[in-house]
Structure formats: structure tokens, C-alpha cells
């Protein structure tokens, strides 16, 4: 069974986050700078929310709110669904599909250790399938 830990091993270990008091504009600037589409909202090393491009579109733009004046706490999704490093990639796919989400924070009992996106999952599955095909071709030709 392939696990979230295996995906995390293929990614940089840095976690990008802001505090709940940061403005939406500050969050967007960080997301642009790091070329990411979701940020964790952390307070004293505790995960309290997630902010995604979808949150921006639905909670800020469509309501005519100011990105400068609105704190991220008003736009974030609270109580995000999380996975653990030992959870299966299949579980990630199920959660993402059923809940219509594209990002899953990865947490252990005491801290956030990363984030997995739908792109990470797809890329990992494709690489794993290519490896399986290569092994089968090698087996068949030997």
C-alpha cells in the first residue's frame, strides 16, 4: 500500500502558512511568490484553517470584499480535513473526490508535517504505474 509519507518524500519539506490575522492580500502575495494554490492558517503551531484559490474566488471576489482589509480568518476554511503520513494514497483520492477538495494538510498527533495536493497524488500514481509497467516489461522480456 502506497502512503502519504511516500508522496511527502518526493516534495520539499517546507510548509507555507500565515496567521489568522494576516490579510487576504498578504496570503495571496505569499501564494504567488511560492507558486502555490493553498496556504495553511496556523496559530502557535496549531492548524486552524486552510485558504485556497477557491476560497478567494467564493468568499472574497464574489462578495466584493477587499483583499487588503479582510483578514484571512474571514476567508479561510476552518477545520480542514487532514491525513496522516501513514494514510494511503487511495484514502487521499477518496477524500478529495467526495469532499471536492484539492489539498490535504498532513498532520501527526502533535504537528503539521506537510500538505498533499491533487497534483501530487496524480503525479505519484503516474510515476508508480510507469515503474510497474517497466518492471513487467523487464520480466516479460527476460
Domain span holding position 103 = 4-141
The pTM (predicted TM-score) of the whole model is 0.89
Cα–Cα distance for residue pair 35/29, rounded to 1 Å: 10
* 8 A C-beta contact, residue 111 and residue 45: yes
Count: domains in the chain: 1
DSSP string for residues in 23-89: BHHHHHHHHHHHT-SEEEEEETTEEEEEEEHHHIIIIIITTT--TTTSBGGGTSEES---B-TTSBH
Mean pLDDT by 10 residues, the chain (142 residues): 94 93 97 96 95 96 94 96 97 96 94 96 91 85 80
pLDDT score, position 138: 82
pLDDT score, position 83: 98
Going from the C-alpha of 94 to that of each of 49, 50, 125, 130, the distances in angstroms are: 21, 19, 14, 22
Per 3-state DSSP, the chain is made up of helix, strand and coil in percentages (nearest 5) of 45, 25, 30
Cα–Cα distance for residue pair 123/7, rounded to 1 Å: 9
| CATH number for the domain that contains residue 72 | 3.10.580.10
Cα–Cα distance for residue pair 24/18, rounded to 1 Å: 10
* 8 A C-beta contact, residue 25 and residue 105: no
Amino acid at each position: 500500500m502506497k502512503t502519504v509519507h511516500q508522496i511527502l518524500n518526493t516534495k520539499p519539506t517546507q510548509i507555507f502558512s500565515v496567521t489568522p490575522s494576516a490579510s487576504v492580500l498578504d496570503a495571496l502575495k505569499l501564494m504567488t511568490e511560492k507558486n502555490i494554490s493553498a496556504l495553511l492558517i496556523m496559530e502557535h503551531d496549531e492548524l486552524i484553517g486552510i485558504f485556497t484559490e477557491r476560497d478567494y474566488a467564493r468568499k472574497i471576489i464574489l462578495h466584493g470584499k477587499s483583499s487588503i482589509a479582510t483578514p484571512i480568518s474571514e476567508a479561510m476554511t476552518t477545520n480542514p480535513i487532514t491525513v496522516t503520513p501513514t494514510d494511503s494514497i487511495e484514502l487521499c483520492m477518496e477524500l478529495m473526490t467526495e469532499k471536492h477538495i484539492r489539498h490535504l494538510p498532513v498532520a501527526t498527533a502533535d504537528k503539521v508535517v506537510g500538505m498533499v495536493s491533487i497534483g501530487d497524488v496524480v503525479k505519484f500514481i503516474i510515476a508508480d504505474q510507469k515503474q510497474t509497467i517497466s518492471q513487467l516489461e523487464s520480466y516479460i522480456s527476460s
